[in-house]
Amino acid sequence: MVGELASGVLKGDHRSLAKAISIVEAGGPDRRRLIREIYPRTGKAFTIGITGPTGTGKSTLVDKTIEEYRRRGRRVGVLAIDPSSPFTGGALLGDRLRMMDHSLEREVYIRSMASRGDVGGLARAARNTIRVLDAAGMDVVIVETVGAGQTEVQVATAVDATVVVLMPQLGDEVQAFKAGFNEIGDIFVVNKADIVNPARTMFNVASGVQEKKGWRPPVLKTVALRGTGVPAFVDTLEKFEKFLDENGLREERMRHRLEAELVEAAFSDFYSETVSRLKGEKSWRQLLGQVSRKELDPETAAGKLVKIITGLDASPNA
């Protein structure tokens, strides 16, 4: 079944994509088999993370960015991280509804994913969803996050280019920089530039960014609702993509991401497998009983638990 599904993904079949991403979210052996099948066909898509404070018009900007990329003949996949459940409630009933119109096009695929408050699990599911969209032949994969918390920062950096979207003169730039966006942003966009003059906000942002390996993050202005500034924004994305490729930085960034991902995934799998096995151990129940009866303190018990875990035959899951 997974083999057939992988074949459908590689052909760009939307139904296969939907099933594959559901498997990726659910985890387990099927996820591993699926990723094993498609992984050799990944690494071609240019991946973009679009993040920033709530209410800055990110979904509208993504919507117009899809249109612009399609005008340029590029296939686009979108992963929209939603703090509520997929396709119900939250932002999807507002700005994202417009974006979903593109999902009727064969050359565009859009998927929403619930954040569930699980940063590690979400990041893993998001990375593998990007791989699925990449393997399906998408030229560009956009990851959009709602809000600007830990989840958003982690997911937005699982990409080639990170775009931070702000609004003019609302103090967004100060809050964004406190959240560390000045360090992760490759391109900054001041959206809704028609509300007030964005010059001050653009100056504040430009003053706070730092050059990274020959690239000084530009600060652009857009009125996404009207499409104003969007072609220039996509021009800048294409310029950055070329910059990364010509300087070998795309490969370097990918290696850093893989390093972090492998350690995180291994720890996650080790934790899941160990906890499930521990609960079947008599020594675990005895230790828990001692702590609950105040015969042993949690710190000492934790030290003993490490010895119990190292004594388990932790054979890797295939």
Task: State whether 187 and 277 are in the same domain.
Answer: no
Residue 117 lies in a domain: yes
Task: State whether 304 and 161 are in the same domain.
Answer: no
Residue 164 lies in a domain: yes
**According to the model, what pLDDT value does residue 194 have?**
92
Return the CATH number at 215.
3.40.50.300
Alpha-carbon span 188 to 224, nearest angstrom: 14
Residue 120 lies in a domain: yes
Task: State whether 155 and 129 are in the same domain.
Answer: yes
**Domain final residue pick, 247, 278, 300:** 247
Task: State whether 150 and 295 are in the same domain.
Answer: no
Residue 157 makes CB contacts below 8 A (sequence gap 6+) with 49, 184, 257
The total number of residues shown for the chain amounts to 318
Residue 23 lies in a domain: no
Q: Quickly list DSSP for the chain.
A: -HHHHHHHHHTT-HHHHHHHHHHHHH-SHHHHHHHHHHGGG-S-SEEEEEE-STTS-HHHHHHHHHHHHHHTT--EEEEEEESSSTTSSGGGGTHHHHHHGGGGSTTEEEEEEE-TT-HHHHHHHHHHHHHHHHHTT-SEEEEEESSSSHHHHHHHTSSSEEEEEE-TTSSHHHHHHHTTHHHH-SEEEE--TTTS--HHHHHHHHHH---BTTB---EEE-BTTTTBTHHHHHHHHHHHHHHHHHTTHHHHHHHHHHHHHHHHHHHHHHHHHHHHHHTT-HHHHHHHHHHHTTSS-HHHHHHHHHHHHHHS--PPP-
**According to the model, what pLDDT value does residue 130 have?**
96
Task: State whether 211 and 282 are in the same domain.
Answer: no
**Of the candidates 156, 151, 174, 146, the residue with the CA atom closest to the CA atom of residue 49:** 156
pLDDT in tens, the chain (318 residues): 899 999 999 999 999 999 999 999 988 899 999 999 999 999 999 999 998 888 889 989 999 999 999 999 999 999 988 765 444 434 444 455 666 667 667 899 999 887 765 566 678 889 999 999 999 999 999 999 876 566 666 766 689 999 999 988 766 566 666 667 778 899 999 999 998 889 988 998 898 888 989 999 999 999 999 999 999 999 999 999 999 999 999 999 999 999 988 998 898 888 888 888 888 888 999 999 999 999 999 999 999 998 888 887 544 443
Task: State whether 271 and 176 are in the same domain.
Answer: no
**Domain final residue pick, 218, 247, 276:** 247
Q: What separation, in Å, do the N-terminal and C-terminal C-alpha atoms of the chain show?
A: 18
Residue span of the structural domain in which 76 resides = 42-247
**According to the model, what pLDDT value does residue 178 have?**
60
Q: Alpha carbon of 162 to those of 32, 129, 139, 237: distances in Å?
A: 27, 17, 17, 10
Residue 281 lies in a domain: yes
**Domain final residue pick, 199, 218, 247:** 247
**According to the model, what pLDDT value does residue 116 have?**
60
Alpha-carbon span 240 to 105, nearest angstrom: 27
**According to the model, what pLDDT value does residue 102 have?**
72
Total domain count for the chain?
A: 2
Answer for the pair 111, 143: CB distance below 8 angstroms, yes or no. Answer: no
Task: State whether 243 and 275 are in the same domain.
Answer: no
Task: State whether 177 and 52 are in the same domain.
Answer: yes
Task: State whether 282 and 200 are in the same domain.
Answer: no
**According to the model, what pLDDT value does residue 182 have?**
77
Residue 29 lies in a domain: no
Alpha-carbon span 31 to 178, nearest angstrom: 36
Residue 55 lies in a domain: yes
Task: State whether 72 and 173 are in the same domain.
Answer: yes
**According to the model, what pLDDT value does residue 91 have?**
40
Residue 262 lies in a domain: yes
Task: State whether 164 and 299 are in the same domain.
Answer: no
Task: State whether 235 and 300 are in the same domain.
Answer: no
**According to the model, what pLDDT value does residue 98 have?**
61
**Of the candidates 125, 219, 121, the residue with the CA atom closest to the CA atom of residue 176:** 219
